């Protein structure tokens, strides 16, 4: 049986959710239940902060995505932002916007998902807020820290740098397609792998930390809007141009097969898919191999060289297999645009 949160009341709900968390880290001086959370901070680090929301009907469909996965993804997309800065996540605040008829059981499972994903990467849920709303949303804030000499921003790419990406962007787009339409030719295992890429993205915290040990990363971003769009953000902030090599782009085999069966060029999903939460980065050319080896040794995740940074005047191009250069125009997902689901 399912109970609406309106029958529980705000304070009882907070108590019930907070009871699902384990003991807090030692640096948490004040945790859930007070007006604020308080933590001890160290002076040799920068404090990082980011926030990102998962909204019902926009980022997830309540009947389609299990609540535990909604919670895990809500945490993962924030963890991914901390990864892109080279940092370590520390403390989550969970702001819940809840329609009164939200099932308590749904909410508890989503909260478990947040706590589970946070724990996987050493972060704690220390506070939050509950507000009544007409539309369900999990709006998370994540704090993190990074050593002062290790912070990576979007604005550090220079001509001559190589462009790299973790994993295989486009798989999340394939998973979304599978949730919207059946693909009879696909094996269950293949289907699950692609749907997981969309519903359970793995924040690349460990990969980014391994890269920080090596050094040489000049700019980094996580792929949320799409590889082309997010590399465009690095170019915007760094004042540089970009040459991507089509033949170097990693194309997951199952994703490619599904795309072609739907009449889509797989590169369209690789470059424009979004929601992958892979890391796209630029690095000094002499460091690329060491970075690839370190990421592989620490995590098994592939790190692929896909192009190079060029002067701004040279523009942004994709080099096709025949050597022809076409302007890189694949648009990322602008959340208010009309062209994307």
Task: List the interface residues with its own copies, window 244-263 (CB under 8 A).
Answer: none
Q: Which residues of 232-252 are buried (b: 16+ CB within 10 A; e: fewer)?
A: bbbbeebebbbbbbbeebbbb
Do the annotations mark residue 129 as ligand-binding? Answer: yes
- Give start and end residues of each alpha helix (H) in 184-303: 188-199, 205-214, 227-238, 253-261, 266-272, 288-299
Closest distance to its own copies from the beta carbon of 125 (Å): 12
Selected range binding its own copies among 10-18, 112-120, 191-199, 306-314, rule: CB under 8 A: 10-18
Sign of the C-alpha dihedral, residues 214, 308, 331, 261?
negative
- Which residue among 42, 63, 182, 327 contacts its own copies (CB under 8 A)? 42
User: Where does residue 65 fall: left (phi above 0), alpha (psi -120 to 50 degrees), or beta otherwise?
Assistant: beta
* Lookup result for tokens 């995590």: 299
- Which residue among 32, 75, 130, 267 contacts its own copies (CB under 8 A)? 130
100 binds its own copies (CB under 8 A): yes
Closest distance to its own copies from the beta carbon of 68 (Å): 21
281 binds its own copies (CB under 8 A): no
Helix (H, G, I), strand (E, B) or coil at 240: strand
Do the annotations mark residue 304 as ligand-binding? Answer: no
Q: Which is nearer to its own copies, 72 or 243 (CB)?
A: 72
DSSP annotation of 281 reads: E
Burial of 323 (0-12, 13-18, 19+ CB in 10 A): exposed
Closest distance to its own copies from the beta carbon of 223 (Å): 11
Torsion angle defined by CA atoms of residues 296, 301, 305 and 311, in that order, rounded to the nearest 10 degrees: -110
Which x/- pattern over 51-70 shows residues binding its own copies (rule: CB under 8 A)?
xxx-x-xxx-----------
165 binds its own copies (CB under 8 A): no
Say if residues 112 and 145 touch (Cβ distance below 8 Å).
no
Say if residues 308 and 160 touch (Cβ distance below 8 Å).
yes
- Which residue among 18, 24, 47, 179 contacts its own copies (CB under 8 A)? 47
Do the annotations mark residue 236 as ligand-binding? Answer: no
Do the annotations mark residue 275 as ligand-binding? Answer: yes
- Which residue among 13, 172, 177, 291 contacts its own copies (CB under 8 A)? 13
Closest distance to its own copies from the beta carbon of 248 (Å): 25
- Which residue among 67, 113, 127, 203 contacts its own copies (CB under 8 A)? 127
- Which residue among 17, 75, 97, 178 contacts its own copies (CB under 8 A)? 97
151 binds its own copies (CB under 8 A): yes
- Which residue among 75, 76, 93, 280 contacts its own copies (CB under 8 A)? 93
Strands 137-147 and 217-222: unpaired
39 binds its own copies (CB under 8 A): yes
DSSP annotation of 224 reads: S
49 binds its own copies (CB under 8 A): yes
Helix (H, G, I), strand (E, B) or coil at 51: strand
278 binds its own copies (CB under 8 A): no
Residues forming the annotated binding site for ATP? 111, 128-129, 154, 224
């Amino acid at each position: 049986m399912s109970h609406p949160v309106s029958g529980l009341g705000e304070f009882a709900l907070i108590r019930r959710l907070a009871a699902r968390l384990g003991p807090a880290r030692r640096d948490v001086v004040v945790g859930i239940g007070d007006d604020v959370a308080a933590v001890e901070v160290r002076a040799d680090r920068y404090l990082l902060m980011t926030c990102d929301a998962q909204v019902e009907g926009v980022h997830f469909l309540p009947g389609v995505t299990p609540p535990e996965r909604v919670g895990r993804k809500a945490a993962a997309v924030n963890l991914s932002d901390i990864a892109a800065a080279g940092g370590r996540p520390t403390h989550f605040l969970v702001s819940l916007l809840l329609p009164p008829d939200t099932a308590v059981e749904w909410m508890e499972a989503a909260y478990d998902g947040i706590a589970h994903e946070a724990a996987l990467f050493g972060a704690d849920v220390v506070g939050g807020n509950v507000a009544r709303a007409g539309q369900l949303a999990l709006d998370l804030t994540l704090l993190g820290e990074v050593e002062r000499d290790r912070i990576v921003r979007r604005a550090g790419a220079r001509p001559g740098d190589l462009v790299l990406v973790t994993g295989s962007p486009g798989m999340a787009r394939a998973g979304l397609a599978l949730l919207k339409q059946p693909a009879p030719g696909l094996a269950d295992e293949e289907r699950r792998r692609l749907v997981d890429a969309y519903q359970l993205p793995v924040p690349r915290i460990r990969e980014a930390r391994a890269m920080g040990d090596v050094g040489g990363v000049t700019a980094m971003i996580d792929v949320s809007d799409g590889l082309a769009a997010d590399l465009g953000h690095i170019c915007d902030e760094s004042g540089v141009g970009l040459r991507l090599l089509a033949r170097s782009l990693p194309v997951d085999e199952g994703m490619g097969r599904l795309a072609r069966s739907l009449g889509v060029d797989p590169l369209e999903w690789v470059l424009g898919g979004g929601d992958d939460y892979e890391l796209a980065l630029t690095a000094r050319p002499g460091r690329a191999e060491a970075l690839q080896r370190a990421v592989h040794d620490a995590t098994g995740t592939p790190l692929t060289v896909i192009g190079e940074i060029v002067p701004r005047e040279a523009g942004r191009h994709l080099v096709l297999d025949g050597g022809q250069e076409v302007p890189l125009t694949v648009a990322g997902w602008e959340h208010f645009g009309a062209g994307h689901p």
